[in-house]
Amino acid sequence: MNTIQVQLGERSYPIHVKSGLLKDVPDLLTETNHGQKWIIITQHGLMELFGFELMSNLKEKNFNTDYITLPVGEAAKSMKEFSNVISQLTELGCDRSTTVLALGGGVVGDIAGFAASTFMRGIGYLQIPTTLLAMVDSSIGGKTGINIAEGKNMVGAFYQPKGVLIDPDILKSLPKGEVIAGLGEVIKYGAIRDADFLKEISGWLDDIVSFPFEKAIKRASEIKAEIVSKDERESGLRRLLNFGHTIGHALEAHLGYGRIRHGEAVALGMKCAGWISERLDLLSKEDVNQLNTTINKLPLPEIEHVDGVHLMPFIKTDKKSEKGILNFVVLEGLGKAAISTNVSEKLIQQSLKVLN
Ligand SMILES: NC(=O)c1ccc[n+]([C@@H]2O[C@H](COP(=O)([O-])OP(=O)(O)OC[C@H]3O[C@@H](n4cnc5c(N)ncnc54)[C@H](O)[C@@H]3O)[C@@H](O)[C@H]2O)c1
Ligand SMILES: [Zn+2]
């Protein structure tokens, strides 16, 4: 088993990555089972796919286990569902010793983590991510939260899990589009932190059917762990994880959520950010080509022509714009991301041409 440590003093925790890990969960957690309640928070379909088996394995090893399901989709990250989860935790007789197991993608992880952060002023939880995006990104680093009408992830907390348990075999049932979107984020890690990894990913993408998920997840989660260990609350280094996200988020918002997956929008955003980095003389032509060649190996959705003017309002409201200054993530070489405050609106608008 590969174990990576998120180093945050007394809030440190392990990330375990291993094919077939799901069946080992009771053994991995047995030391921390003191007779408390264990609540699996998941979605109905995931309960059918993995949850019932996990619950019966836990019960067999004397874990007092129950479960709560959430609806599918971004809409589940709502005040209403949050409040439902809290009520159900109470009805199930949970107390301060209860441990939550968040079994699902980023939606489940975000709301389950937030519920854990607030129920009785905070109870323990573990992440068991089931999408590629959740495995390499949302399950690590303790960002939890829900959406309100005024914006996404507007209510939340930094609240670290006690552990992250990743079983790449779980991805076998994940719809292909979700896998591709997750690969967008995997490419991001190579681009911002590890040029050799980027090259490796590029090679692996030539035969996507035999893509070595376990290897890729291990390296990507290692990079995420390293970054959040150094900057838990996104005051510096962690911002580099937003590579491709300023334009990516704006594309998601402009095209309409549900029209393009987050990871797909990020992949397109990285192409624009690569072009901008070259224009600022930070990145060589060869490096931009290598980045684009890798991204182009993903079967991304065709998008209609985007007029930069329409995108700008979304760029400006993006949270990476602080005190009116846009913190834009550029590359100063492959594997070497940096923040630039010199990226003009005009440059952003011009960069959109690489999408068509
Ligand atoms: N907390 C963070 O740091 C962070 C980082 C990035 C994204 N996010 C959040 O993550 C969310 C997106 O997460 P996501 O992309 O994982 O989407 P998701 O959680 O909505 O999952 C996508 C779909 O796949 C299904 N699914 C999940 N695992 C499956 C499996 N193994 N087999 C079959 N179906 C499966 C789900 O039921 C769902 O319908 C967004 O809300 C975003 O804000 C959070
Ligand atoms: Zn992302």
Q: 180 and 169, same structural domain? A: no
Quick one: pLDDT at residue 335?
Answer: 98
pLDDT band, very low/low/confident/very high, at 322 (cuts 50, 70, 90): low
Q: Is 147 near ligand 1, meaning CB less than 6 Å away?
A: no
> Angle 156-75-233 (CA atoms, 0-180°, nearest 5)?
20
* pLDDT at position 218: 98
Q: What is the bridge-based pairing of β-strands 99-104 and 321-322? A: unpaired
Q: What is the pLDDT of residues 168-206, one digit of tens each?
A: 999 999 999 999 999 999 999 999 999 999 999 999 999
Look up residue 185 and give its amino acid.
E
Q: Which of 74, 107, 158, 238 to mutate to test the pocket of ligand 1 (most atoms within 8 A of CB)?
A: 107
Among 113, 147, 173, residue at a domain's last position: 173
Kindly give, in sequence order, each residue whose CB lies less than 8 Å from that of residue 265, ignoring residues fewer than 6 positions away: 248, 249, 251, 252, 255
For residues 248 and 342, membership in a common domain is answered with yes
Find the range with the poorest average confidence among 163-167, 183-187, 250-254, 321-325: 321-325
Total domains in the fold of the chain: 2
pLDDT digits (tens, 9 = 90+) for 92-112: 999 999 999 999 999 999 999
Q: What is the mean pLDDT of the chain?
A: 96
Structural Rg of the chain based on CA atoms: 20
Q: How confident is the model at residue 304 (pLDDT cuts 50, 70, 90)?
A: confident
The helix (H) or strand (E) run that includes residue 114 is: helix 106-118
- Domain endpoint, select from 173, 188, 216: 173
Residues ≥6 apart with Cβ < 8 Å to 58: 25, 26, 29, 38, 65
Q: H-helix or E-strand containing 69?
A: strand 64-70
Catalytically annotated residues: 121, 143, 185, 224, 234, 238, 242, 245, 249, 262
What gap in Å lies between CA 282 and CA 275, rounded to an integer?
10
Mutate to test the pocket of ligand 1, among 15, 138, 153 (most ligand atoms within 8 A of CB): 138
The answer to whether residues 203 and 138 belong to one domain is no
Same domain as 261, residue 159 = no
Quick one: what percent of the chain has pLDDT higher than 90?
Answer: 90
Q: How far apart are CA 224 and CA 237, in angstroms?
A: 11
Provide mean pLDDT across the span 7-12: 98
Q: Are residues 154 and 187 in the same domain?
A: no
Residue 167, domain CATH: 3.40.50.1970
DSSP string, 74-104: GGGSSHHHHHHHHHHHHHTT--TT-EEEEEE
- 289 and 316 in a common domain: yes
69 Cβ contact list (under 8 Å, min separation 6): 41, 42, 43, 44, 47
Q: Does residue 188 sit in the same domain as residue 332?
A: yes
Q: Are the CB atoms for 146 and 156 separated by under 8 Å?
A: yes
Q: Which residue's CA lies nearest to atom 35 of ligand 1?
A: 174
CB atoms within 10 A of CB 239: 19
* Ligand 1 contact via 143 beta carbon (within 6 Å): yes
pTM of the model: 0.97
Q: How far apart are CA 205 and CA 182, in angstroms?
A: 13
Query: End of a domain among 173, 208, 232?
Result: 173
Which residues have C-beta within 8 Å of that of residue 8, sequence separation ≥ 6? 160, 228, 229, 232
- 97 vs 118: CA distance, rounded Å: 13
Could you give the percent of the chain with pLDDT greater than 70?
Answer: 99
Distance CA 287, CA 75 (A): 39
Ligand 1 atom closest to residue 131's alpha carbon, by position in its atom list: 28
131 CB within 6 A, ligand 1: yes
Asked whether the predicted pLDDT for residue 275 surpasses 60, the reply is: yes
Residue type, 314: F
| Mean pLDDT within 221-242 | 97
Instruction: Tell me, yes or no, whether 183 and 89 share the same domain.
Output: no
**Domain CATH for 245:** 1.20.1090.10
Residue span of the structural domain in which 101 resides: 2-173
- Per 3-state DSSP, what percentage of the chain is helix, strand, and coil (rounded to 5)? 55, 20, 25
Assess whether pLDDT exceeds 60 at residue 321. no
Burial class (CB in 10 A: 0-12, 13-18, 19+), 112: buried
pLDDT tens for 16-69 read: 999 999 999 999 999 999 999 999 999 999 999 999 999 999 999 999 999 999
Q: How confident is the model at residue 239 (pLDDT cuts 50, 70, 90)?
A: very high
Question: What whole-number distance in Å separates Cα of residue 117 and Cα of residue 161?
Answer: 9
Are 202 and 98 part of one and the same domain?
A: no
